[in-house]
Amino acid sequence: MVPEGASYAHCGYCDSESFVDLNGAILYQVIRPTVARSRVPGLIKAAALDAGYPDAAIQRLDLVYEPVWEIESPDGRRLCISARPGPNGRFEIARLPGGERSFVDTSERERSADWIEPELAPESVAEVAARATGGPVAVKTMRLVHHPMFEGQVLLGETSHEFRLDATSGELYDVEWPARPSFRFRNQAWRATAIMLLAAALLPLHLAGGAVLIVGGYTIWEHTRQSTLPQPTAGR
């Protein structure tokens, strides 16, 4: 095994050292998860509670390793390209987190986690990177880095919704919480109803009608505005 950035490799069998030339090599690495699987339900439920769903329940939870191509140019710059196409069907620039890396062990890949194979062939990475950056990309070293992610489903009321959570940072992705009227709006609705009843009972008829229309219109407008505001999440 050759450590990252090493110029010489030490053989554990014959005790010799050899110079390592990684120009043009493809390395296979994995970023170690730092978020325990047992923490994920709590993180998801906390985000669901912020979005107004205190009764959220996890239905499915899987650990997957997303493939990302990492290119290092001769001047030391690095560029990451997703090895799987995005929603638009194209391979795009990706962002890899920091953290502990190690070489991929074959026996490790046989465990319960889902190791996703790259759909972008290594010989096409430089061309895709050039299209993504708008200029030619020189490649010295190429790494296939596996990024750990938790994927699953959360039950909100009677409907299930997909989620993805970074297993290195705990950041939540790709969740769109359905709009739900907040307790604040419900209180406003009760107050508006009380005001309209008082206006109808105490004001003259020609004034009561206008007051009821004004208060009711404002309540409907506030409800529409609240339902179109972006719902809070724990990530993107």
Q: How confident is the model over 195-232, as pLDDT tens digits?
A: 767 766 777 777 777 776 776 666 666 655 555 444 44
Strand partners for 151: 62, 164
Q: Rounded distance, CA 44 to CA 231, Å?
A: 14
Pairing of strands 141-156, 26-31: parallel
List pLDDT tens digits, range 94-150.
989 888 888 887 677 767 689 999 999 988 999 999 988 888 888 888 889 999 999
Alpha-carbon span 88 to 163, nearest angstrom? 19
Least confident of 15-29, 60-74, 202-216: 15-29
Share of the chain above pLDDT 70, in %: 72
Question: Model confidence over 169-186: pLDDT tens digits?
Answer: 999 986 777 765 444 555
What does the domain layout of the chain look like in residue ranges?
23-173, 183-228
pLDDT at res. 230: 45
- Judge whether 10 and 196 are in contact, CB under 8 Å: no
Q: What is the mean pLDDT of the chain?
A: 79
Q: What pLDDT does 139 receive?
A: 87
Which residue bears the tokens 């997703």?
A: 82
Contact 79, 137 (CB under 8 A): yes
Radius of gyration of the chain (CA): 27
